[in-house]
């Protein structure tokens, strides 16, 4: 994606994309698509994660990031990204790079970062975005979707106890999605919309693919961002405060290390049981990009007593969990920062409890007030 160098703010940059000569903007690409990735970051100096392997150029509020990757043919190619710190903790990246290039470059960089992570779009927030598109663009078709069974968000008339994933491609996707939701209780997790003026795809990882690069598509993009940003930033704020720190205190001639731990708590809206815990650990360990492993597992049924040490394999981060039927406590340990917490919580909302919430652990509520 070749954007003329200038001092852009975010709105000027987007206007430059949809007013540019498309053949020059996407020169050398098979598809004239702008892929937009949304991340949260707790660091003002987020560019430090792109210092070693990316050439950086100043485009005003935008930073152009260029790096190399290996094409499927074995040749070396260039992947170009345009990044902007949009507002409170939100990082937006625009690119036309191929999925292969993205996987080798920025996806790996983000995954290894202890400060940047995909925005946590929980299932209920994704449905809010989906409904807004349909409500404001009545002529929009759904031409492709992926959906899965989410009991809290849809009832099922046919075999409601079955987990389901359905992928569908056809121009009647809008009608088909309603039918699948009614009969099989599935709701979309990836969806593509098409109309004479708007054509784009979105999914729960915070990725938006703008297939028609025009003002209406960009306006819709930012409307959808605003739709979920308050909840996204609430999750980000909590995750940043879940920390393991070491404080040094002087006692005479001694310097004493004292751990300072702020724990988190996932509050369940449905009853968490042993079967759900076992299925969650299996799914978490089998994630392609964000694998979590579990050691020192203790799991007892009845009045549920579940504990384990969790490892974020991508970041070499560790934290302890303990759960009852109603909640799960997260106690950070080594190298545990907000990206690990956010992705663990998002995985929980996508596999166990779609309506779960994350807060800071309330010690007084857990242990009661101290006697005076």
Verify that 270 and 320 share a domain, yes or no.
Answer: yes
pLDDT of residue 28: 77
Q: Are 1 and 102 in contact (CB under 8 A)?
A: no
- Cβ atoms of 328 and 268 closer than 8 Å: yes
CB contact burial 176-209 (16+ within 10 A = b; e otherwise): bbeebbeebbbbbbbbbbbbeebbbbbbbbbbbb
| Euclidean distance between CA atoms 193 and 134, whole angstroms | 9
On whether residue 148 sits in a domain, the answer given is: no
DSSP H or E segment with residue 79: strand 76-87
Q: What are phi and psi of 114, to 5 degrees?
A: -105, 20
The DSSP symbol for 136 reads H
Whether 149 and 164 have beta carbons less than 8 Å apart is answered as yes
Domain assignment of residue 167, yes or no: no
* 213 and 329 assigned to the same domain: no
What does the pLDDT read at residue 372? 37
Q: Do 223 and 246 belong together in one domain? A: no
Q: Report the number of distinct structural domains present in the chain.
A: 2
Is 163 part of a structural domain of the chain? no
- 34 and 132 co-located in one domain: yes
Identify whether residues 203 and 337 lie together within a single domain: no
Residues 343 and 301 in one domain: yes
Q: pTM for the full model? A: 0.86
Q: Is residue 232 part of a domain?
A: no
CATH of the domain at 299: 3.30.310
Same domain, 211 and 252: no
312 contacts 344 by C-beta, under 8 angstroms = yes
State the residue range of the domain holding 20. 1-140+195-227
Of 224, 234, 227, whose CA–CA distance to 338 is shortest?
A: 234
Give me the pLDDT at residue 362, please.
72
- What parts of the chain have a pLDDT lower than 50? 364-372
pLDDT at site 369: 43
Number of other residues whose CB lies within 10 A of the CB of residue 356: 19
Residues sharing a CB contact under 8 Å with residue 73, sequence separation 6 or more, in sequence order: none
Question: Does 233 fall in a domain?
Answer: no
pLDDT confidence of residue 285: 79
Say what the pLDDT of residue 86 is.
Answer: 84
Q: What is the DSSP letter of 346?
A: H
Same domain for 217 and 296: no
Q: Which element (helix H / strand E) includes 58?
A: strand 55-59
In a domain, 188, yes or no: no
Q: Which has the closest alpha carbon to 330: 339, 322, 338?
A: 322
CA-CA distances (angstroms) from residue 3 to 96, 213, 260?
A: 11, 14, 47
Strands of 182-326, DSSP E: 186-194, 199-203, 207-210, 243-251, 254-262, 264-267, 292-300, 305-312, 317-323
Structural contact between residues 318 and 308, judged by C-beta atoms closer than 8 angstroms: no
Q: State whether 259 and 341 are in the same domain.
A: yes
Task: Express each pLDDT in 208-242 by its tens digit.
Answer: 999 999 999 999 999 999 888 889 889 999 998 99
Q: Is 263 inside any structural domain?
A: yes
Task: Give me the pLDDT at residue 371, please.
Answer: 41
Q: What is the pLDDT of residue 124?
A: 86
Return left, alpha or beta for 302; rule: phi > 0 is left, psi -120 to 50 is alpha, else beta. left
Residue 218 shares a structural domain with residue 247? no
């Amino acid at each position: 994606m070749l954007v003329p160098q200038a001092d852009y703010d975010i709105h000027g940059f987007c206007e430059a994309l949809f007013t540019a000569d498309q053949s020059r903007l996407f020169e050398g690409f098979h598809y004239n698509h702008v892929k937009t990735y949304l991340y949260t970051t707790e660091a003002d100096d987020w560019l430090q994660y792109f210092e070693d392997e990316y050439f950086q150029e100043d485009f005003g509020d935008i930073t152009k990031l260029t790096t190399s990757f290996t094409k499927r043919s074995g040749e070396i190619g260039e992947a170009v990204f345009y990044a902007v710190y949009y507002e409170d903790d939100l990082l937006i990246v625009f690119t036309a790079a191929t999925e292969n290039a993205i996987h080798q470059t920025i996806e790996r960089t983000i995954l290894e970062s202890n400060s940047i992570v995909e925005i946590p779009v929980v299932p209920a927030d994704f449905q809010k975005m989906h409904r807004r598109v349909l409500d404001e663009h009545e002529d929009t078709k759904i031409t492709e979707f992926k959906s899965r069974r989410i009991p809290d968000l849809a009832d099922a008339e046919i075999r409601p106890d079955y987990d389901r994933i359905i992928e569908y491609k056809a121009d009647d996707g809008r009608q088909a999605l309603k039918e699948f939701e009614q009969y099989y209780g599935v709701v979309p997790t990836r969806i593509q919309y098409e109309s004479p003026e708007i054509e784009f795809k979105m999914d729960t990882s915070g990725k938006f693919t703008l297939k028609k690069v025009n003002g209406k598509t960009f306006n819709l993009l930012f409307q959808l961002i605003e739709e979920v940003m308050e909840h996204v930033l609430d999750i980000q704020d909590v995750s940043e405060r879940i920390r393991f720190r070491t404080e040094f205190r002087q006692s005479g001639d001694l310097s004493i290390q004292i751990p300072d731990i702020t724990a988190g708590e996932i509050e369940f809206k449905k009853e968490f049981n042993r079967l759900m815990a076992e299925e969650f650990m299996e799914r978490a360990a089998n994630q392609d990009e964000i694998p979590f492993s579990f050691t020192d597992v203790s799991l007892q049924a009845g009045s549920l007593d579940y504990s384990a040490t969790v490892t974020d394999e991508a970041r070499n981060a560790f934290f302890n969990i303990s759960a009852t039927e109603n909640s799960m406590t997260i106690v950070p340990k080594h190298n545990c920062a907000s990206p690990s917490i956010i992705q663990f919580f998002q995985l929980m909302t996508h596999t166990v409890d779609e309506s779960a919430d994350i807060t800071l652990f309330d010690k007084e509520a857990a242990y009661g007030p101290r006697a005076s």
